[in-house]
Structure formats: C-alpha cells, structure tokens
Chains A and B, each alone.
Chain A
Amino acid sequence: MCLAIPAQVIELREGDKALVELSGVKKEISLALVDHVAVGDYVIVHVGYALNKLDPEEAAKTLQLFAELGAAGDSDNLLH
C-alpha cells in the first residue's frame, strides 16, 4: 500500500539526512529510521524517509532465480 522506491545514497548530510539518487533524480531524505548507512548503499524511500537498506546480495539471488527459470525442473529452485 506504500509507495516506496529503492534509491542510492550519494551523500550523507548533517541532521541525519542524506541525498539519494535514482536515474539522475536526487532528493534529500531523512535517515532517522535506519542506522549505519554509507554512501553507495541503496535504501527504500517512503514519504521522504529511508525505511530500510536494500541488500544487494539478496537482490542478486532473487534475480538469479528468475534467470534460471525456463530450465526443466526449475520448480526445485525455490526461495526460502
């Protein structure tokens, strides 16, 4: 129900804020809800706040799962 998008942190700013970027569009958001965010991390942004960090390894695993589709017997490759 919640429109949130993944964006990359490109600058940390004082007051618990950061500048994030998605395809060239930049927005200042609040980091008040997450800890240990570094430049280069991806965060999920909702109404001007980062809700969580996005885990690139898990993202890659999910995409890998999709890439393996179409091979016979792929119903064995399930995410748990």
Chain B
Amino acid sequence: MSDHRQGYIRPLDLKNGRVEMAHGAGGRAMAQLIEALFIKHLANDYLAQGDDGALLESLTGQGRLVMATDCHVVSPLFFPGGDIGSLSVHGTINDVAVMGAKPLYLAAGFILEEGFPLGDLARIVESMAQAAKNAGVPMVTGDTKVVERGKGDGVFITTTGVGIVAPGDELSGRNAQAGDAILLSGTLGDHGMAIMAERESLGFESPIISDSAALHGLIAVMRDSGARLHVLRDPTRGGLATTLNEIARQSGVGMLLQESAIPVKPAVAAACEFLGFDPLYVANEGKLLAICPAADAPLLLAAMRAHPLGTDAAIIGEVQADPHAFVQMRTCLGGRRMVDWLSGEQLPRIC
C-alpha cells in the first residue's frame, strides 16, 4: 500500500484512453505515463536513471556529459518576474546544473501559432537572449515551426541543454541517506501563484512575483563551501512535495519535514488560502532542494544564505530510514501527516 506503484494499479488504457491535463501536472498520473509509455518503449540505461537530466559518457577525460530537455507551455506567456522565454532558459540551465554539471550550451525549438503578434515574439526572444547572456550559457542552435491559428497557444518552446560534470561531482536523486539534512534555498510557491494570479478567470491582484532564475551560480557557491552534497534538485511542477517523493523513491528512504521551518511568503500563503492550494505542491522556478550529511548542514546553509538567490534558505527536515519511502511532516500544530505525491492537478476548490 505504501509503494507509489500501488497508486496506479490500473494500467494505461492505450485503446480508449485520452491525454488528460493530469498527465502534465507532475504527479502520479504523469509518472505513470512516462514509465508505461516513454521509458518502456525508448528503454535504455540513461532514461532509467530517473533524474532531471541524463548523465552520459565520459568525454576524453574531461568528465561526463549531461543533457536535459524541457518543454514550456506556460500561460500566460508574460507574468510578473518573467516570461516564457526567460523561464525556458532558466529551467533547462537548472536541470543541467542540479546534476552537478556546468551548463555549457542551449538549444531551443519554437512552435509558433499563426497570428501571434511579432512584437510579443520579439519581447520573448529578447528576454531569452538576456537570460542566456546573464547566465553565461549561449543558445547555439534552434528551430522554428508555425502551426495554423487555433492549433497552438501562441508559443510553445522546447529547450535542451548540455553540460559537463567533473569526475566525482555527479549528483543523483539516488544518493540521499538516512540522517541527512534537507535544505531549501528559499520561499515556496512564488512562481505557481504568480501565474495563478494572472489567470483572468480567478480575478486576483497580487504582489507575487515569479522566482524564475538560473541557479548554477548558487550551486557553484554551495559546492565551494566544502559541504558534501548528496542530492540537488529544483522543485518545479508538482512542487516540493513531488520532488521529495521522487527522491525518496529513488533513494529508498523516508523523510520528515518540519512545517514551521518551511518558508512561504505571506502573499503566497494568502493566495493559496483563497484557492484552497497547498504551497507544498505549487511550482517553483528558482529554488533548490539540497540534501547533505547533517554535519555539513550549517556550513551549507551559511553558504546559501550568503548568495542573493538563497537569502531565505532554511533547513526544513531530515532523511530517515523507511522501507515505505514516506515523506512525512510534523505540522505547525505538532501532529504528523503525510506529504504525498500530487494527485491529478491542483484545482481551485470550494470545499
């Protein structure tokens, strides 16, 4: 009953089933689609690694190649703190960087909808260029296609990134160990709620700004601190809860979080209250999860807090031995609850 696989005993209905929004939400339904369709058919050792990027072969003694790819379908295209362009650059840089690699090159594919204003496209491309320049990672190749009006949501972008990880620096979700500390680089839910607030149908005004950012600078500082890093990951779609469950499953461990230690901005908390969302499941685009030996936690925390992208960093819990790989939390009231995988999508609720 504890194994996540029990969550999808019903196999994918390839004959009559259809793609649903839940398949893109980052939770169990998406995990099942990936495993039952993509990993099954494309089967190879690299895909089976299960991390955000693939760790490939060694390159003439320089270290191993890392490759990651990301699709961006965010709506609205422009939001406080960024746009689909900067988001796509940051997202892929981060996927490569959390593998322990130095991001080297980016590629981007654009699917444009007929009728999309060129002025908006220019804004997006300028934003991508600026993000890539600030990060020091060039966009070296790309492709563009146009689909008829009505067949695309303005712009879809796919970005791919490659990097190199020095021998011994490889990171993976498989390396969390019982007794390790769990650290978070800052406040949860900023990106997801900034997007929600822009959705006209919900009619919110809010001061929330997306945290979209390239994290490789922060990661470099964390590496240089001398703390041993076991796992690094950025909690994007599906939120912190989903990322922790993925790592727990990969490493075969459990986790215990302290709710009172988890930083959330008041406006984000308020927006979540209005909609009935749990900040633990809301997407982040500029935050890091780090798992390290407990003894190294204070050192790592100090290094993170000294960096502009880690000023609100906190130790939020610890890794435990647990055959069920449960992620648990001690609530602000002192009781215990599970922090389970995301089911379906988070939807605004009345109840």
Are A and B direct contacts in the complex by CB distance below 8 Å?
yes
Identify the A interface with B (CB < 8 A): 1-3, 5, 22-28, 45-48
In Å, the complex CA distance between A25 and B264 comes to 14
Asked if A46 and B204 sit within 8 Å, CB to CB, the answer is no
B203, B267, B269, B276: the one contacting A27 at CB < 8 Å is: B203
Contacts of A24 in B (CB 8 A): 206-207, 266-267, 270
In Å, the complex CA distance between A48 and B350 comes to 10
Contacts of A3 in B (CB 8 A): 276, 349-351
List the B residue with the shortest CB-CB distance to A45: B274
Contacts of B197 in A (CB 8 A): 25
In Å, the complex CA distance between A5 and B276 comes to 10
In Å, the complex CA distance between A26 and B274 comes to 10
How many chain B residues touch A (Cβ–Cβ < 8 Å)?
A: 18
- With contacts A3-B276, A5-B273, A5-B274 taken as known, whether A26 is within 8 angstroms of B350 at the C-beta atoms is no
In Å, the complex CA distance between A5 and B207 comes to 19
- With contacts A25-B197, A26-B205, A27-B204 taken as known, whether A2 is within 8 angstroms of B351 at the C-beta atoms is yes
B291 on the interface (CB 8 Å rule)?
no
Asked if B350 and A25 sit within 8 Å, CB to CB, the answer is no
Asked if A25 and B267 sit within 8 Å, CB to CB, the answer is yes
Asked if A26 and B206 sit within 8 Å, CB to CB, the answer is yes
Contacts of B327 in A (CB 8 A): none
Contacts of A28 in B (CB 8 A): 203
A23, A27, A47: the one contacting B266 at CB < 8 Å is: A23
Identify the B interface with A (CB < 8 A): 197, 203-208, 266-267, 269-271, 273-274, 276, 349-351
B205, B206, B350: the one contacting A47 at CB < 8 Å is: B350
In Å, the complex CA distance between A46 and B349 comes to 10
List the A residue with the shortest CB-CB distance to B348: A3
Asked if B205 and A22 sit within 8 Å, CB to CB, the answer is no
Minimum CB–CB distance from A66 to chain B (whole Å) comes to 13
In Å, the complex CA distance between A46 and B197 comes to 17
Asked if B204 and A25 sit within 8 Å, CB to CB, the answer is yes
Chain B CB count within 10 A is highest, among A25, A26, A45, A47, for: A25
- With contacts A2-B351, A3-B351, A47-B350 taken as known, whether A27 is within 8 angstroms of B207 at the C-beta atoms is no
B204, B270, B276, B351: the one contacting A23 at CB < 8 Å is: B270
Q: List 4 other contacts, CB 8 Å, given A2-B350, A24-B266, A25-B207.
A: A3-B276, A25-B208, A45-B274, A46-B350
List the B residue with the shortest CB-CB distance to A27: B204
Asked if A22 and B270 sit within 8 Å, CB to CB, the answer is yes
Closest 8 CB pairs between A and B?
A: A23-B270, A23-B266, A24-B267, A22-B270, A25-B270, A26-B205, A25-B206, A3-B276
In Å, the complex CA distance between A62 and B301 comes to 39
- With contacts A1-B351, A2-B350, A3-B349 taken as known, whether A22 is within 8 angstroms of B273 at the C-beta atoms is yes
In Å, the complex CA distance between A5 and B203 comes to 16
- The 8 listed contacts between A and B (C-beta, < 8 Å) are A3-B350, A24-B206, A24-B266, A24-B267, A25-B204, A25-B205, A27-B204, A48-B203
Minimum CB–CB distance from B193 to chain A (whole Å) comes to 9
Minimum CB–CB distance from B202 to chain A (whole Å) comes to 8
List the A residue with the shortest CB-CB distance to B349: A3
Contacts of B203 in A (CB 8 A): 27-28, 48
In Å, the complex CA distance between A1 and B266 comes to 24
Asked if A22 and B274 sit within 8 Å, CB to CB, the answer is yes
List the A residue with the shortest CB-CB distance to B206: A25
List the A residue with the shortest CB-CB distance to B266: A23
Asked if B350 and A27 sit within 8 Å, CB to CB, the answer is no
List the B residue with the shortest CB-CB distance to A24: B267
